[in-house]
Chain A
Amino acid sequence: METKPIVTSHGNQVLFSSLHSALLQGLPREPTEWRRSYGRPPKTLKLEASFVPFDEDILPQDKDKTLVSRPYFHIFWTDCDLDTYKQSVKEELLEWHTALKNKNNPDWLIAVVVNDESKIKSKLLPRSSVIDKVKNDFCSKQPDRCIVLNEPLKLDSKSQESWNGFLGRLRGLMLQAFSRHLSKYEENMRSLREKRNEPGWDFVNFFLVQEELGFMFEMLGLHDDALIQYDELDALFSQFVLTQATTGKKAAWMSKFMKDCTSWAGLSLRKAINLDKRDKVKHNEATLLDFRNYLFSRQCALLFLLEKPWEVAQRAVNFLHQTIQEVNTLKVVMPEAALDCWVFLSCMEILQTCEKHTDSSQMEAYSLYTANLRDYTRRKLYSIGEMCGLTPDNTPSSEQLTMVLDLTSGMGIEEDSEEDYSGPNVSHTPRPRDKLREALSSNDTFQKIFLELSELTMGTFKHIGRFRSARLIGKDLADFYLRLGEAQKAENFLVDAMKSYQREGWHALADGALLELAKCQKLQDTSFTLKLSSLFHIAEVTVLTPKVIVDQPLEVEVILVNNTPSDIQCDNLKTSLKKTNKLPKLLSQKTAVFRQASNSSAKEAVPNFNPVAQQITSILNVQAHYEGAPQRPNTAGIVCINTHEVLRRADSSGRGPKLTDTLKDYDDFTNYASCDDVVIKPGENKLIFVQKNTSAGHYKLGQLWVKMRGMNFIKYLEADQFFLVHHDEPSCEIIPVSGDKIVSGIQQWVELTIDPGSFILKEGDELTYLTSDGLTVCQEEEETTLRVSKITELGHAVFRILLFHDIYTVDRNAEVRLESDVFPDPVCCSVMFSCPFHVTHKLHTASNRKYLQILVHGNTREDFTLVTPNLTVQSPDVELLSLNKANQELVVNGNMNVSYMWQLKSNTKNVIQTNLCFTTTFHSILDQENKSRQLSYECNVENFMTLYTVKTIVSAQPEMGTCKVGAKATLRIHIRSHEQDDEDADTSLSYQVLQDSSIWALFGNTSGVVQLCEDMTAEITLGVVPLVSGLVPHPPVQLLKNQADVWFKQGDNSCNSKNDSDIPMSNPEKNLVTTRTLPFSHGQVYYSSIAQQVHVLPDAGDSN
């Protein structure tokens, strides 16, 4: 409020206006303490004033009740000298003084301004200055009513001091004036209040009187005192309503507020004081809502001035509730939903205004109250929407549309007049009225705004840690979404709500949420999962087949008790089988079962939230426990299944045990035993669950899953029932009866052992066999089946069969496949046969003669006897001369080889290549038939005729006689061709002395080309020095043939070709001829000195 206490000035106006601004600034500079009557605490305030010229007419009468507009204080200004004073000023003063006195106004001050200090000083006589005169004339009894202001326009300290004195005096006197007026006013007011129960008393009058006091305090900057005035009025009004409600006594004035309410414009907090509203109240035109709106807006304005915006939010809820209460009590007639509109609009206004006034530091305190306010807003919006047919599954009827129109008009009456006040600085947030209009305009916008508001409210609640409230809103939202048909969204909220209710142990609420959830899931048409216990319970679970083989059916017997009175058709029942590494041990059970389901729902850190610790139950839940087959159990006993509850530490266990969540997670149902299409009759039902196709391992029963159309029930089978599913593939093994190997080429007794693995072979079962190529099973008649005649203790079947593997089969790995009805797949058995012999050949040369050696290496421990060796040759030019004893029986085995030798004689030299075939008959004791069998071996020889003989001679220097270490000797290499008369024989050869530097040091050409002479011989001489003494082998010499390669230079024929006879050598310019040396094939060169040695004497002088 911009009003200030009014102070009049009189006297020298020119003087005053020169001092005016200094006065305005100086007055509030220092705070003054204001001691007040009735023991009220002193207040410190900064005084301000607005100065008006004095006019006798504005002086209030003594009876006047105004406070704010009253001129409180009167100042007379003069700076005259004594003469002027005497002439005119005194007169003026007197007039002024008398006027004041007539109005019985003691609040005045005469200010004498002295501009010329020297003047005062020069006056030696007292009582001769103006000030003395004034004091004498007017202030003889009250000397403080006259004050001197020394040279106020100067800036020195003296003048400052004089100012301070003046202002201090002025403040004090003004406060005195206030006190006097206020005490008088308050007394009046009190007496007026005392009369409140008298007939004819009007609340509005009293309201205006007390409000005036409030204005006064506000003017003085005492906002809290001002607020008290309004609070008192508020309380007084409430009290009247209450009294009327309880006693039924109705004050006459009350009927003004019981008028029908045609406008439900919300609270407006845009202006500190809404004068329109005030006038309405003043003129008794205000409805209850108007009055309340005005009163609360004043309270809010003061609270904002006190910088307590959160208190606005705090009071708001109460204000709204109380007003509604009063509307009801006073039976104020309002259209349906209008009050809700008013609440909504007011809430929004408060929220918006609070937000503007709140900074982040107050957010916490503020949110605490706004959350409730928002929630209230939200509810109201919903109920308006409900009435106007805007909620999701409704469409507004024509009546409802009319209602919307009525409501809209009712809240918008003052729109325009209000807009005028709102300057350009008004925020862009839509006015609550606009928001409500928007919300009411269509179902969609209503939904949007409602959801927006709900989310915001929920967020605020969460922010201040009121999670239960947030949950409730979540549940509301779920209802809303459900009506919208968005069951998916609803479900999340419901699940959250249900879980938290469950966790806190509010079962009725959790069940309520559960019902909603059921509705929601019904809507979604998806399957959903519930706890089984309400419908069925499980009496007994027995594993009928604790140990099964893979692919054998696994059976669980469950006795299910139907608690309902009717048959229930179940589509499918399943029990999950969980693979477990844990072996079924009785002692480890209790942990194994109950850990798994433990607090899997991670606890949110929720403030003020302790999950319920359940009481320790005093009931022991026991159940029968078997291990092993039910007919023949290994152990039997009873097991307490709730040991974890009973044996729990009673205190300090903190969070306590989990409360089983209603919504359980599915187990892994990849492995399950099931039984389909069952009708569960009331009472006990024995169900057998069957499972096939389980892989090997240990299994534990997990959950029971009952499926009835869209519904799924889950129940943990809290029993420790284990399955062992094992699986061993059948296998087959073949071992020889005698000997260590299975040998090809002979008939051999072997033992075929079949380990049926997880399957069971019975006597009389038939096995069909199938052998790979080259392998035959020797059986009488052409049968391919084996009949099991005997089963060993281990369950194996053993057969003794004769096997024959063709010796000439390349693949030594043979396979037997056994098929049977018992086994799902054929059983394969691979047999590794080893050949009894290994045959090699070797060609030997002695000058021109050639020999062939056939070596038979044995491969077995057992003896094989070879007879009648025979070698045949393909080429007619080669003749074979056996060097073996006739009719000799030779024995071969792993440790003993046999050699045969033939001499090859050739008629011509031109035998390039020939095949040789070696055959022999053999028999063995291993062979079951013991008949002679044929072994044949083929080989071929090529280029085996001797072409050259190389002879080496190492001779010492003639003077030495014998070779000595370190002494030079001569190596002569003599080459002779056997084809002396052959013209086309090669005469150009290469030689190479293979050097072994540790034995011989060589000089001269260790390799090179040599030309045969006429007589088809050649000789090469090299210098050699033996390096070691003793019998030293000759340096080895190798003879090589030369071959010329012709490289064609033609670009288009870039490839090289061998030097054939066709290719002309006559064109050397064109072709490049290079010579290669190639080794002779084995036997073509006979090195006659290859094993010769020379005696080397040690060198006497050589220390080495």
Chain B
Amino acid sequence: MAVCVAVIAKENYPLYIKTIPTDNELKFQYTVHTSLDVVEEKISSVGKNTNDLRELYLGLLYPTEDYKVYGYVTNTKVKFVIVVESSNTSLRDNEIRGMFRKLHNGYVDMLCNPFYTPGENITSRLFDNTVLSMMQQD
């Protein structure tokens, strides 16, 4: 499944990054960070006609030889990025969409916690579990 899941704040700083395996976390951070270029590009290209209901799912941001990076932007411009291995052929567009939906729900649940201040790093265990469920091989 996913090898890296990241939640990025509106201002593009990371709120949450989880990678499996953890030893190469920095590499994934670079990947996610770089993907923001494409995310921003996609947001700004759509954002012109404001009233349109924007498609939250941004699709494949960019492929590398080993990984595929997918993006998703909530209406509040919080970005989700999921990195999957290119060799994992079982993951098609629909599966990825499903993962993002799940992630979004998890994020919203986490956000509903009154003790969480939006913009802080996400430390919720529940959210962590949601993410882990998407990353574990099943």
Contacts and interface: CB of A to CB of B under 8 A. Distances in A.
B89 A245 contact: yes
B18 to A, nearest CB: 13
B11 A611 contact: yes
B37 A469 contact: yes
Contacts of B75: none
Given A504-B12, A508-B17, 19 more contacts: A245-B89, A317-B63, A318-B63, A321-B86, A324-B65, A465-B41, A466-B34, A469-B37, A472-B30, A504-B11, A505-B11, A506-B29, A509-B29, A509-B30, A608-B44, A612-B9, A612-B11, A615-B120, A656-B11
Interface in B18-41: 25-26, 29-30, 33-34, 36-38, 40-41
Interface of A: 242, 245-246, 317-318, 320-321, 324-325, 328-329, 372, 376, 461, 465-469, 472, 475, 501, 504-506, 508-509, 512, 607-613, 615, 656
A242 B37 CA distance: 31
Best-surrounded residue of A461, A608, A611 (most CB of chain B within 10 A): A608
Given A466-B41, A469-B37, A509-B33, A242 B89 contact: yes
B119 interface: yes
B49 interface: no
A1023 to B, nearest CB: 115
Contacts of A320: 65
B107 to A, nearest CB: 17
B62 interface: yes
B65 to A, nearest CB: 6
A15 to B, nearest CB: 62
B42 to A, nearest CB: 10
A246 B90 CA distance: 8
Q: A interface, by DSSP: helix, strand, loop or mixed?
A: helix
7 contacts: A329-B87, A461-B37, A466-B37, A468-B34, A504-B33, A509-B33, A609-B40
Nearest to B119: A615
A318 B34 CA distance: 18
Contacts of A242: 89
A610 B12 CA distance: 7
A147 B29 CA distance: 75
B14 interface: yes
A245 B86 CA distance: 13
B11 A613 contact: yes
Contacts of A465: 37, 41
Query: Most B CB atoms within 10 A — which of A242, A246, A317, A469?
Result: A469
Interface string B60-103: 00111100000000000000000000110110000000000000
Nearest to B77: A610
Which range holds the interface residue count of chain B? 20 to 34
B95 to A, nearest CB: 13
A504 B13 contact: yes
A318 B65 CA distance: 9
Across the A-B interface, the 7 shortest Cβ-Cβ residue pairs: A505-B13, A608-B40, A466-B37, A612-B13, A612-B11, A468-B37, A615-B119
B12 A505 contact: yes
A293 B87 CA distance: 21
Contacts of A508: 14, 17, 25-26, 29
B27 to A, nearest CB: 10
Contacts of A245: 89
B113 interface: no
A864 to B, nearest CB: 93
Nearest to A501: B33
A341 to B, nearest CB: 14
A376 B65 CA distance: 9
A512 B29 CA distance: 10
Contacts of A376: 65
A854 B75 CA distance: 113
B117 interface: yes
A505 B89 contact: no
